[in-house]
Structure 1
Amino acid sequence: MGNRRRVAERRKTTPAMVGGVIAVVVGGAGIGAYALYGGGAAADDRPQTTAARGPEKKTGPLSAAEVQTTAEGFLAAWQQGKPAEAAAATSDATAATGLLTAYAKDAYLKDVTLTAGTAAGDKVPFSVKATVSYKGLTKPLAYDSTLTVVRGATDGEPVVAWHAAVVHPDLKDGDTLVTGESGTPPVKALDRNGAEMATATYPSLGPVLDGLREKYGATAGGSAGVELRVIRGKESKKADLSDKTLVELSKGTPGTVKTTLSPSLQAAAEKEVSRTDRASVVVMRPSTGEILAVANSNRGFNTAFLGSLAPGSTMKVITSSLLFEKDLASANKPHPCPKTFSYGGWKFHNDKDFEIKGGTFKASFARSCNTAFISQAKKLKDSDLTQQAQQVFGLAMDNWAIGVPSFDGAVPVQTAAPMGASLIGQGGVRMNPLNMASVASTVKAGVFHQPYLVSPDTDHRKLATASRTMSASTLSQLREVMQYTAAYGTAAEAMAGLGPDYGAKTGSAEVDNQEKANGWFTAYRGDLAAAGVVQAGGHGGDTAGPIVASLLKAGS
């Protein structure tokens, strides 16, 4: 009886969800007939025929009518202030009910108008207009979002695939919208010269300013205003995402936080990444660790600080230092670079299967020969690369404190083929431009200086340190191979005219189901170091290289 009641109840609520739109009835005729003729109490005494068991689970592609009807029903119920009805049309009624209820009760959003756009397959774009109204303060809110219609897991009926981003694109699952007096006063970020740095001038700084507010808002001397904010949930906090202001109803009094950013380099970085999709870059000072610029094409997420991407051949800087220390390579001695090399059951290739016959390690590094590194894997312990990254380069210990949320890399201990892959920046190795700029800085300075955006003197926090430095011989050889790469290798075109006090390494990191590799580039020049990535850009020398080189030149 329970199954039949649920089917019947679902049929009864459908018209209310779309405000009486007759099109909804068309797709549900079979369900309506079952509920009418098979729903009496006596039905339990009859044999269980196929009809009595109810319709079989629907499968197959969704029709345009199913997509439209489901989307309209969901949006109509939401607009009418019926969160439970709207949630019933989703794949996760519990989560949807909570967030849609909070939309009115906690976010204080009223006069909601939802307008569906033209569906593209199973995706339906829609626009949202509403009013934020809190204790006599009101401001309009307008944004665009998208929903996706899928078949329900239980009965195959069309439902809206539930994610918090349906309600607002800045929401991640588990996040909420709240309007009220902000618990954290706003902050005014200052550059290294004391001038304000706002997103109107520096669009990439949105996530950075959010992070500064979260870290220093309570202590920077400001007072809170009234705002509509995205409050991050457990999973977002694990990903180091900061709360985000969507609408400011009344201004608080901002405190001030001085950063290490250079206004000229930040402006140049913003300009460089704006020319390329999915580009990110960081510039820092090797002698101190000060971060001078950070910019991303995608202004909604700070890939430069929080990205977790395979760094490709830029990782060979760290691996080379390990090989030099272990006496498994020497810059000017012969070193194998065959077309392919098998290790741990995998066959590793060079780009277009090139080989270098009778060449030195310096030549292999400059041309980014993968097999020159994989060929040494069997002579290394599984933990060697991890320890080198941690002990010499200060990476992958989850202890950086730069002043805003950041990720300090991952170099897990691996075995067999994945260990071999990690030597060339694949496998489980994960980095971002901040990490790789720090790697170049360590080579230039000869010692690891943890990068920072806010001086540790501001809040007396302790910066991360490395437990040891490279030997003089290792450091000298590492600088030599990076300089040779900048002058004659895969980085030469991008670094042209910037020598002689320079060094660089290119990288291309393959990504599953992505046609082009992520292009990486890390380099130093004088007392500047920088690194960048262009996701799905291809060879790093052609994509990230010009961005990095331009900033090294601009900072001189």
Structure 2
Amino acid sequence: MTEWHSERDRVRRFRVIVGVVAVSLVIFGGVAGALMLVGTPGRTAERAEEARHQAAKESVARAERRMDTFVSAWRRGKWDAAGQYTDSPASAASLLASLHRNLAPKPFSIDVGRASASTVTKSERKAGARAAYVMPFTVKMKVPRVGAYTYESKARIVQTAARDVVHFEPSMVHPALKVGQTLAVARMSTRGSILDSKGDVLAAATLVGDVDSNGKGTTGLQKRYNKQLAGPGSGSAYLISITDRETGRAVRPLRTPDAKLGADVHTTIDPDVQRAAAKALDLVSKPAAIVAVKPSTGDILAAANSPAGYNRAFIGQYPPGSTFKVITSAALLKSGLRPSDALECPRYEWVYGYRFTNQNEFVLPDGSTFRDAFAHSCNTAFIGAHKRLDDSSLAKTASAFGIGGVWDTGTSTYDGSVPVNTDVLDRSAAMIGQGRDLASPLVMASVAGTVKNGKFVQPRLVPGAVRHPYQAPESLDPGVVTDLRSMMRSVVTDGAGDALRGLPGRPHAKTGTAEYGNASPRRTHAWMIGYQEDSDIAWAVLIEDGGSGGSDAGPVAAAFLKNLTVKRPS
């Protein structure tokens, strides 16, 4: 090879090497440039997270600024300005002005805590809300004639694209306030209050009872819990009170460090259910009662008496009449009788020379079943089945419904009595809730509740006072419970409970017409008991000397259930 060729090859090799290096640099530079332009995936996510974090911080800061401006205006007595920072300017300004006019607090301060994120509600989102925050705050004041008073509350800040607002409701200004209420100084009894399940003063005169001129409880819960209600104080004192804005009436006192108040008594009464029951009794001119319970817990939701004074709802002792057929049916079902089994319903049934009959001496057609007899409340059909039971059957079955035990409810109650039968005649009368069977409306509401719940749960009115709730010694077979539920529904759809037909909640019921006394013709109490399939409530209606369960107690029960569905205006 010549030197010239050798040199030429070296040049070629050098050019190849330089070309490869150049291409590599171009490729590397392109990749590096691309990475410089778009960034690494990890860095992009990091920057997005930083942006979100910064936006959240700014959102919190906005909420805190809005709260600060609202509180500043409130603290300085600028009620209209404070109201403008809320979603209800006029209402907020009016309540703040009322509170300060009534209390005249001096000094007065508000310490605001840190914001915490809250879930935006559906209605807020509909209105364009993007975020919501809860702001805790503490109010400190000194009130003439009362002294120092401190309380804690929370405000809700709602953010939209347009503005941030403080959501106004009375409970934001003070957690105990409701619509139509304010705070004021009043000379009030230092005695504790009897409260409903919502924490308001219980509106049920018969349950609450009376206090004499010396401040001592004489009847009802006032008497039973006199020591607790009276507390260490005596007489009255100037106190900050929840006050009705329209009437100026002091509703109940608020506790302050210097006030020596008695302890409140908390009951399970639901004010809406109690109101529905009391309103339904307006239809009745004779003595009557309605009781409602929550089957799953035993909470007594309502106990209305008309006229007020005698608590027939809890301590009245009445023959339950055909409402007791729920218990008799449980015994018959346990004996093997099925709802679809044939059960004759003749005009009369004779037992040891004593004639039993049905109301107005009705009969059911041939081929009628146990279900039919229950739905139409046929006495003769039930008495005709007396041979399926022995003298202890009804007492034993009644015990599975809690009857005959000693109930620890937190108040005085009559807990029912179903004695062991002494002979066939006694048993026959007991099968239709007559003879020696006795119950109160509370007991019969609990009977319906036991069917709804599947087992007995002892009723209770003052949970804090219940130490030993009664436990039923017997339990109901699940199959028996299923059949009872089906049969109680038939009372409404096909039988004597037609007053409830078509009402919402799929009511289940049993009517009762209970004879009492020695008059001729015999006088009767009217009963209806039942429960709602779609809600956790069972009930009993009793009208003394009221006629028929279906035609007289039925419409009152229907009115009660309709009242439950009517919403109160806010």
Residue 408 (structure 1) aligns with: 415
1:322 counterpart SS class = helix
The answer on 1:330 being equivalent to 2:338 is yes
CA distance in 1, matches of 2:302, 2:435: 29
Instruction: Read off the aligned partner of 2:529 and give its amino acid letter.
Output: T
Residues 411-490 of structure 1 aligned to structure 2 (within 5 Å): 411-414=418-421, 415-455=423-463, 458-459=464-465, 461-490=467-496
CA distance in 2, matches of 1:468, 1:410: 16
Residue 359 (structure 2) aligns with: 351
The answer on 1:365 being equivalent to 2:374 is yes
Contact 2:396–2:474 (CA<8 Å) still a contact in 1?
no
Q: 2:497 aligns with which of 474, 491, 500?
A: 491
Q: Which segment drifts farther, 497-506 or 315-324? A: 497-506
Instruction: Read off the aligned partner of 1:271 and give its amino acid letter.
Output: K
1:481 counterpart SS class = helix
1:255 counterpart SS class = coil
Instruction: Read off the aligned partner of 2:386 and give its amino acid letter.
Output: A
CA distance in 1, matches of 2:554, 2:360: 21
CA drift of 1:317 comes to 0.4
Residues 276-287 of structure 1 aligned to structure 2 (within 5 Å): 276=284, 277-287=286-296
Residues 157-176 of structure 1 aligned to structure 2 (within 5 Å): none
Residue 66 (structure 1) aligns with: none
Offset from partner CA, 1:337-380 (integer Å, 9 cap, x none)? 12111123311111222222111111111110001111121332
Instruction: Read off the aligned partner of 2:484 and give its amino acid letter.
Output: L
Q: 1:273 aligns with which of 274, 277, 281?
A: 281
Q: Which segment drifts farther, 288-297 or 332-341? A: 332-341
CA drift of 1:418 comes to 2.0
CA drift of 1:306 comes to 0.2
2:227 counterpart SS class = coil
Residues 150-549 of structure 1 aligned to structure 2 (within 5 Å): 187-198=192-203, 202-207=204-209, 210-220=219-229, 222-223=231-232, 253-276=261-284, 277-327=286-336, 329-356=337-364, 357-390=366-399, 392-397=400-405, 399-414=406-421, 415-455=423-463, 458-459=464-465, 461-492=467-498, 494-498=499-503, 501-514=506-519, 516-525=523-532, 526-549=535-558
Instruction: Read off the aligned partner of 1:205 and give its amino acid letter.
Output: L
CA distance in 1, matches of 2:282, 2:515: 24
Percent of residue pairs bearing the same amino acid type:
38
Instruction: Read off the aligned partner of 1:443 and give its amino acid letter.
Output: V
* TM-score normalised by structure 1 residue count: 0.58
CA drift of 1:330 comes to 1.1
Contact 2:277–2:302 (CA<8 Å) still a contact in 1?
yes
CA drift of 1:485 comes to 0.5
CA distance in 2, matches of 1:381, 1:442: 23
2:485 counterpart SS class = helix
Contact 1:261–1:292 (CA<8 Å) still a contact in 2?
yes
Instruction: Read off the aligned partner of 1:352 and give its amino acid letter.
Output: N
CA distance in 2, matches of 1:444, 1:254: 38
1:531 counterpart SS class = strand
CA distance in 2, matches of 1:221, 1:295: 26
CA distance in 1, matches of 2:556, 2:401: 24
Offset from partner CA, 1:486-541 (integer Å, 9 cap, x none)? 1111001x212225633100000111245541100001013111001101110112
Contact 1:206–1:299 (CA<8 Å) still a contact in 2?
no
CA root-mean-square deviation: 2.4
Contact 2:397–2:474 (CA<8 Å) still a contact in 1?
no
* TM-score normalised by structure 2 residue count: 0.57
Residues 75-114 of structure 1 aligned to structure 2 (within 5 Å): none
CA distance in 1, matches of 2:387, 2:206: 44
2:313 counterpart SS class = helix
CA drift of 1:417 comes to 1.2
2:349 counterpart SS class = strand
1:301 counterpart SS class = coil
CA separation of 1:503 and 1:326: change in aligned 2, threshold 3 A: same
Instruction: Read off the aligned partner of 1:462 and give its amino acid letter.
Output: H
CA distance in 2, matches of 1:552, 1:275: 14
Q: Which segment drifts farther, 500-509 or 204-213? A: 204-213
CA drift of 1:274 comes to 3.2
Instruction: Read off the aligned partner of 1:408 and give its amino acid letter.
Output: D
Contact 1:508–1:519 (CA<8 Å) still a contact in 2?
yes
Instruction: Read off the aligned partner of 2:301 and give its amino acid letter.
Output: L
Residues 117-132 of structure 1 aligned to structure 2 (within 5 Å): none
Contact 1:366–1:489 (CA<8 Å) still a contact in 2?
yes
Structure 2 portions without partners, runs of 5+: 1-189, 211-216, 237-259, 566-570
Of structures 1 and 2, the larger Rg is shown by 2
2:527 counterpart SS class = strand
Structure 1 portions without partners, runs of 5+: 1-184, 228-251
CA drift of 1:407 comes to 0.5
CA distance in 2, matches of 1:404, 1:387: 26
CA drift of 1:294 comes to 0.5
2:558 counterpart SS class = helix
2:360 counterpart SS class = helix
CA distance in 2, matches of 1:212, 1:205: 6
Instruction: Read off the aligned partner of 1:379 and give its amino acid letter.
Output: R
CA separation of 1:486 and 1:257: change in aligned 2, threshold 3 A: same
Instruction: Read off the aligned partner of 2:231 and give its amino acid letter.
Output: G
Contact 2:510–2:528 (CA<8 Å) still a contact in 1?
yes
Offset from partner CA, 1:24-56 (integer Å, 9 cap, x none)? xxxxxxxxxxxxxxxxxxxxxxxxxxxxxxxxx
Offset from partner CA, 1:461-483 (integer Å, 9 cap, x none)? 11111123221211111111100
Offset from partner CA, 1:156-201 (integer Å, 9 cap, x none)? xxxxxxxxxxxxxxxxxxxxxxxxxxxxx95411110111124xxx
Contact 1:529–1:552 (CA<8 Å) still a contact in 2?
no
Contact 1:284–1:293 (CA<8 Å) still a contact in 2?
yes
CA distance in 2, matches of 1:274, 1:203: 15
CA drift of 1:548 comes to 2.3
CA drift of 1:207 comes to 4.2
CA separation of 1:219 and 1:498: change in aligned 2, threshold 3 A: same
Instruction: Read off the aligned partner of 2:460 and give its amino acid letter.
Output: Y
Contact 2:488–2:509 (CA<8 Å) still a contact in 1?
yes
CA distance in 2, matches of 1:499, 1:334: 31
CA distance in 2, matches of 1:221, 1:300: 22
Higher helix share: 2
Instruction: Read off the aligned partner of 1:192 and give its amino acid letter.
Output: S
